[in-house]
Amino acid sequence: MKREAITVRDLSYTYSDGTRALEDVNMAVYEGERVAIVGPNGAGKTTFLLHLNGILRGSDGEVEVFGKCVDKAKREDIIREVGIVFQDPDDQLFMPTLFDDLAFGPMNLGLKEEEVRERVKKALLALRLSGYENRCPHHLSYGEKKKAALAAVMSMEPEVLVLDEPTANLDPRSRAELVGIVKDLNERDGITIVIATHDVNAVPELADRVYVLNKKIIAEGTSQKIFSDFELLKENNLEVPEVFKLFEVLRCFGYNCEELPLSIDEAIEHLTRTVEVNGGHIHLHIHEHTHEEVNKLRSKYGHH
């Protein structure tokens, strides 16, 4: 059995003004796993992430990284193992050149110059930014800045990568590229991934398990389990992926599908299997309850 990379026990946090941000949060993330944290605005997702490498310290409870208590471990030991990428890349890019930004962390770990240069080169390659070494970070596009901030964290070679809203404000091409990069880091390099996101369409692509956080943990399970629980989603102001909605519509027209696909890849796989079973065709039709079911679906998602 894989060891626990992140262990959170009874974590609570209260802001200085008395606002309760987290209440008795418990979570386990296993080595090499991909976990998404979803929840409404103000649910405490960012606050929670900042506890994972000791930027914030809980008023109660504890966080462990590979068995080491974050509150008791040396700061440099934790940041070697857990790298956090903030939602706004400008919070992490502050040096004159991209090389300097990527070299900053490794240099502060006391690594030799040759090792620092090797790490910077490796991170630039992984994030598809080779040739950008001498560029000024603030002159990069927003999508490039997102990749640069991730590269700056990857130059530290963490075992756990924590991402706060990684796809926020990205155009479709930049979003697809970043999703692909994060998947590669997990599948190729074995890096454990923890993501907080509102981008429900990215969750099935980027996560093996999902936690719903609303100050406390409301639910946990696979993407299929979480997104199939409409009452849970409604209570926490969460949407379902667009692909899921499409197959709900198809089901109204007679498409046989017990477990609805959540991603493009799952949709292709399901449609291919259906076509093969049905002699090369997909049969849709309007039956006596089709319009009633479609209207229920419209009402369910607030479309009139």
Q: What is the model's pLDDT at position 257?
A: 84
- Backbone φ/ψ region at 131: left (φ over 0), alpha (ψ -120 to 50), beta: left
| Mean pLDDT score, 192-218 | 96
Q: Which residues contact 122 (CB under 8 A, 6 or more apart)?
A: 154, 155
Q: What is the model's pLDDT at position 59?
A: 79
Q: Which residue has the tokens 């956080």?
A: 213
pLDDT tens digits, residue range 133-142? Answer: 999 999 999 9
The β-bridge relationship of strands 4-14 and 60-65 is: antiparallel
Q: What is the model's pLDDT at position 288?
A: 85
pLDDT tens digits, residue range 150-182? Answer: 999 999 999 999 999 999 999 999 999 999 999
pLDDT tens digits, residue range 210-261? Answer: 999 999 999 999 999 999 999 999 999 999 999 999 999 999 999 988 889 9
Domains, the chain, ranges and CATH? 4-235 (3.40.50.300), 242-300 (no CATH)
Return the beta strands (E) in 208-301 as ranges. Answer: 209-214, 216-221
Judge residue 278's burial from the number of C-beta atoms within 10 Å of its C-beta, 0-12 exposed, 13-18 middle, 19 or more buried.
exposed
Q: What is the model's pLDDT at position 287?
A: 87
Q: What is the model's pLDDT at position 278?
A: 81
Q: Which residues contact 21 (CB under 8 A, 6 or more apart)?
A: 13, 14, 15, 44, 47, 215
> Helical H runs in 86-191?
98-108, 113-126, 142-154, 172-187
Q: What is the model's pLDDT at position 303?
A: 59
Judge residue 202's burial from the number of C-beta atoms within 10 Å of its C-beta, 0-12 exposed, 13-18 middle, 19 or more buried.
buried
Residues of the chain with pLDDT > 70, as a percent, come to: 99
Amino acid at 168: A
Whether the per-residue pLDDT at 295 is higher than 80: the answer is yes
Q: What is the model's pLDDT at position 39?
A: 94
| Mean pLDDT score, 14-40 | 95
CB 178 within 8 A of CB 167: yes
